[in-house]
Amino acid sequence: MKQGELSERKKQILKAVVEAHIDGGEPVGSKYIVQSNLLFCSSATIRNEMAELEELGYLVQPHTSAGRVPSEAGYRFYVDSLVEQYARTTHEVAQINQLLRVKMDEIDQILDMASRLASTMTNYTGIAIKPKANTVTMTRFEIIPMDINNFAIVMITSGGAVKTKKVRTEIAVSDSVLKKLADLLNAQLCGLGADMITLPIIMGIEEEMGEYAFLVNSAVKCVYEVMNEIDGGDMRLTGINNFLKYPEYSDTEKLSELLRTLESRDEILDLVSGSDNDKINVLIGSESSVKVMNNSSLVYIPIKKDGRTLGVIGVIGPRRMNYKQVLKALGDISDNISIIIGDEELSITDGKEKESK
């Protein structure tokens, strides 16, 4: 039998094991499934089915005499095929509407509020992300002399933002040299994204600058810094203390490593920014490229307006996550945000103009 071709009975047993493990955090045995009256078959039959599920890679037996827990493949099958619609109460729906319908004209505020809601409603750590867009380019460079050892590079971005970086040199540089550098930057770098500014282009500019080639490295560094400032994304966490509620994070060294990774942001931003999926994304354990999240799951959904990704909201928690509750919570929050940003003028604070309804 191949993965994905499970009998109905195996599916129900796998579902029961996953949900029991989510609730209790302990290995699940055949005795529990028999006593719960989920299936009308003998304990021996259930044991055999669980053994086959283990052989297929859906369950793992952590100890010889213990019950079984879901593997990553088991969680993945559950999320893709077995999770049921979570029945949200009227009170919870009212809470979402009340909190999110407050007039907020900044996407940052909306994402932060959504992250807090997601954390409160699921008891996991909420995340709010402004993803890396990788679209910033320069439309104009100007270089302003300050004195013989200092000058400022003024950069105008494709989004209309004006950024200035100061550069200090050990060798005196004339105004004519700085004008030549500005002309070369305008000719060679305007319209190029960070990934298109290649070494041959940089070396070409250095060759043109001759004995003043050393200025090129400082100038290009300024360009990259500005692109990263505008395009580098941002991530905020809420409900970090929720990690402490789950035994999976009782190892303080591993938890500290996870928190350091989340604090540095880059790996998570790269992971989320590389996704074009408009739907809820579920990354279970090692499905994520972030190594320290092997024992965790990341569930997130992009927030879009007019085809443009404004941000991402989600939660991080143990693999033993209540997926049906999380999927429903993020879906409901996302739906409400879509209504808000569809009805109101929205300020996008990334150097670009406002988007109007």
- 349 found inside a domain: no
Clarify whether residues 238 and 338 are in a common domain.
Answer: yes
- Confidence (pLDDT) at 353: 37
Q: How many domains does the chain have?
A: 3
- Co-location of 148 and 244 in the same domain: no
What DSSP character marks residue 2?
-
Tell me: do 301 and 243 sit in the same domain.
yes
Residue 69 in domain: yes
* 317 located within any domain: yes
Chunked mean pLDDT (size 10), the chain, 357 residues:
71 90 88 77 86 92 81 92 67 60 62 90 92 77 92 87 90 93 95 87 94 93 85 84 93 91 84 76 91 92 80 93 93 86 52 37
Same domain, 142 and 205: yes
Residues 223 and 271 in one domain: no
Count of beta carbons in the 10 Å neighbourhood of residue 102: 10
- Are 129 and 237 part of one and the same domain? yes
In a domain, 288, yes or no: yes
Q: Decide if 165 contacts 155 (C-beta within 8 A).
A: yes
Q: Which domain holds residue 184?
A: 138-231
Amino acid at 18: V
Same domain as 237, residue 227: no
Burial 115-146 (b: 16+ CB within 10 A, else e): bbbbbbbbbbbbbbbbbbbeebbbeebbbeee
Task: Give the other-Cβ count within 10 Å of 212's Cβ.
Answer: 17
Instruction: Name residue 274's amino acid.
Output: G
Q: Please check whether residues 172 and 115 belong to one and the same domain.
A: no
pLDDT confidence of residue 303: 87
**Which residue, of 39, 61, 82, is where some domain finishes?**
82
pLDDT of residue 109: 81
pLDDT at 349: 42
Same domain, yes or no: 242 and 111: yes
Strand order in the sheet with 138-147: 138-147, 150-157, 162-168
Which residue type is seen at 241?
N
Note the pLDDT of residue 95. 60
pLDDT of residue 101: 53
Judgement on whether residues 123 and 179 belong to the same structural domain of the protein: no
Which of 66, 82, 98 is the last residue before a domain boundary?
82
Residue 170 lies in a domain: yes
Residue 266, both tokens: 């880059």
Residue type at 224 in one-letter notation? Y
The pLDDT of residue 122 is 94
Is 351 inside any structural domain? Answer: no
DSSP summary character for residue 292? G
* Single pTM value for the model: 0.66
The residue from 191, 206, 231 where one domain ends is 231
